[in-house]
Amino acid sequence: MVAGPLSISPIRRSVRPSPVFLAVVVAAVAGGVVAWTASSPTAVSARVGVFVLVFAGWIVTVCLHEFGHAYTAYRAGDREVELRGYLTLNPVKYSHPLLSIVLPVVFIAIGGIGLPGGAVYLRQGMFAPKAQRRISLAGPATNAIVAVVLLVVIRLFGTDGDHLAFWWGLSFLAFLQIMATVLNLLPVPGLDGYAALEPSLSYETRRALANFKAYGILILVAFLLVPQINAVFFGAIYWLFGLSGVPEIYAQYGNYLMRFWL
């Protein structure tokens, strides 16, 4: 049967971007406009604009990351994600106030580290191993896609020397997406890389590591605070960033401009 012109699929009816998400998108765009129209990259308006662009842009990508998990789970048969509001891209639905918002923002501000953000609670036991891996990897894949899109746009339009504050801010946001992709793929309990690996582990191993899931981000932070590990990790992220052809200094300047209070 051919659907009529007013027929809307269940998944399309369920995906409803929330006013909160749309407001964050507007804030990111507003920050971008302020950075774009700044008189110079050193102007106060440039720094404030970059801060808003990166901060709001980061929240937008956290929502997209978690939506990727939820949408894939919904397609795999978990209708509970709709009831929990996960298909609305509302950051409030995904967030633990401290671990999802405060801690990641603090680390972006003081060290340029894009920690994994929010979380969606899925009924993993209902999925076959292949589906669980697909659901787990959907979030990091979203970050990777965002990073590629941003870097392609910057490479094509942002290296001519005009509106530098805007392009530097966008470059730092792309840098954070690469970092979020890599961090989320690490096989640390509580992160997506471990969730993708978990179906292949024995029951005893899964049970033993279950207690560490709540502390995955904290474990990650502890390792990144080790200078030697930090240097190697950031070197790898800058190497991946450099593959785009966008100068590494763009991300470094964007990081500096975001911290407008310095």
DSSP 41: T
Q: State both tokens at 24.
A: 């964050």
Widest CA span in the chain: 63
Alpha-carbon gap, residue 142 to 128, rounded angstroms: 22
* The one catalytic residue among 66, 80, 82, 198: 66
CA distance 57 to 236: 23
Distance CA 40, CA 147 (A): 26
Buried b (16+ CB within 10 A) or exposed e, 102-123: ebbbebbbebbbbbbbbbbebe
198 belongs to the catalytic site: no
Backbone angles phi, psi at 199, to 5 degrees: -60, -20
- Kindly report the number of other CB atoms within 10 A of residue 177's CB atom: 28
The helix, strand and coil proportions of the chain, stated in percent and rounded to the nearest 5, come to 75, 0, 25
Torsion of CA 165, 170, 173, 174, to 10 degrees: -140
**Is 216 in contact with 194 (CB distance < 8 Å)?**
yes
Q: What is the dihedral of CA 83, 88, 90, 94, to 10 degrees?
A: 50
Active site residue ranges? 66
